[in-house]
Amino acid sequence: MKVLVAGSSGLIGTALQRLLLADGHEVLRLVRRPPTSADEVHWDPTVGSIDSGALAGVEAVVHLGGASIAGKRWNSEYKQEIRDSRVDSTRLLSETLATLQPTPAVFLCASALGYYSDRADEILTETSPKGEGFLADVTEEWEDATLPAVEAGVRVCNMRIGVVISENGELPQSMLTPFKLGLGGKLGNGRQHMSWIHIDDVARAFVHVLNTTSISGPVNVSAPTPVTNAEFTKALARTLSRPALFTVPGFALRMVMGEMAQFALGSTRLYPLKLIESGFKFNWTEIEPALRDILDS
C-alpha cells in the first residue's frame, strides 16, 4: 500500500513510518522544506499550497501535526496558532484528496481527547458528546475540516489520541528531573483521570485502522485502562525508586500555566470502544510496566 504521511518526523509519525516500512508498505512524506528525495512531496499549509500532482497512486493518507498544546503559555496569538496549525492544514489536505482520481481509500487524521474536555469520572466512548471550552471547540473544527474527503467518498477516521508516553516525548521525560530529585508529586487533588497510551500501541492502532475497513469516524486511541494522576505519580515514583511526597496545588498551576493548566488538571477517561470491538489487542494496558519499558529504552 502506498501511504502518504504528513508529520512523519514527529513523535507518532516516526514510529508509524517505521512500522509501515517494516510491513512492506511504501511511504510518501509531506514536507514543508524543499524535497531532497523521491519519497518527499512539498506542501505549505500556511499559504494553501500542495504538490497534488505528486500524489498520484496514493492509497492511504495519515495526517499528524499541529502546534504543541503544551508548547508554551496560551495567549491569544498562540491559541490561534494551535487552531490554525490543525484546521487549515487538515482542510487543505482534505480538499486536495477529494480532487484526486482515484481518491485514496482511507484518510486517518489526528484528533485529540480534548474533544471531550474535563468530564470527571464519566467513561467516554466515541459516541459521547463534545465537551466545552477552547480545546473542545478547536478539536471539533479540526475534525470538521475532514468533511471534503468524507463527501468525496474517502473513509475518514478522526483519531482522538490520548496522552502518549514515549522515550522521546514530553511524558514521562518532562517529569524525570523532579522525580529523580525526590520532588515529584501529584497535580491538584490527583483524582483527575489521565487517558494514556504507549507509543508502540499508537503506531499499531493506526495500522490496524488503516487495514480495518469497518472503522470510520471518531476513534479513541488510548489504553483501555486510564489512571488517575495520583496513580500515575505513584507508578512513576516506583519505577524510579524515588518518593513522591509532594502536591502541586491547582491554583499554583493556574498561576504558572494560565489557561493551559486545564490540560494538567482536567479529567478525561477514554474507552477505546471501536478499537476493542474491531479486535485490536493492546500490548500495554498497565501503566507501570509501560513506564518501565519507556525508561529502559
Query: Cα–Cα distance between 3 and 106 in angstroms, integer?
Result: 10
Q: Which residue has the higher pLDDT, 128 or 255?
A: 128
| CATH number for the domain harbouring residue 123 | 3.40.50.720
Question: What is the pLDDT at residue 181?
Answer: 67
Question: What is the pLDDT at residue 254?
Answer: 76
Query: Cα–Cα distance between 162 and 168 in angstroms, integer?
Result: 16
Yes or no: say if 11 and 169 are a contact pair by the CB < 8 Å rule. Answer: yes
Yes or no: say if 106 and 154 are a contact pair by the CB < 8 Å rule. Answer: yes
Please state, rounded to an integer, the average pLDDT across all residues of the chain: 91
Q: How far is CA 275 from the centre of its chain?
A: 15
Question: What is the pLDDT at residue 72?
Answer: 76
pLDDT in tens, 254-276: 766 777 677 778 899 999 999 99
Domain that holds residue 51: 2-231+237-296
| pLDDT-above-90 percentage for the chain | 74
Query: Cα–Cα distance between 270 and 282 in angstroms, integer?
Result: 15
Give the total residue count for the chain.
297
Per-residue pLDDT averaged across 89-116, rounded? 96
Per-residue pLDDT averaged across 46-73, rounded? 89
Closest CA to 73 of 253, 233, 249: 253
Question: What is the pLDDT at residue 263?
Answer: 72
| pLDDT-above-70 percentage for the chain | 96
For CA atoms 290, 295, 296, 297, the dihedral sign is: positive
Cis upstream peptide for 102 (omega within 30°): yes
pLDDT band at 243 (very low <50, low <70, confident <90, very high): confident
State how many domains the chain has.
1
For residue 194, pLDDT over 90 is answered with: yes
Question: What is the pLDDT at residue 248?
Answer: 75
pLDDT in tens, 31-59: 999 999 999 999 999 999 999 989 989 99
For residue 214, pLDDT over 80 is answered with: yes
pLDDT band at 247 (very low <50, low <70, confident <90, very high): confident
Question: What is the pLDDT at residue 71?
Answer: 64
Question: What is the pLDDT at residue 45?
Answer: 93
Q: Which of 2-11, 85-94, 175-184 has the lowest mean pLDDT?
A: 175-184
Question: What is the pLDDT at residue 14?
Answer: 95
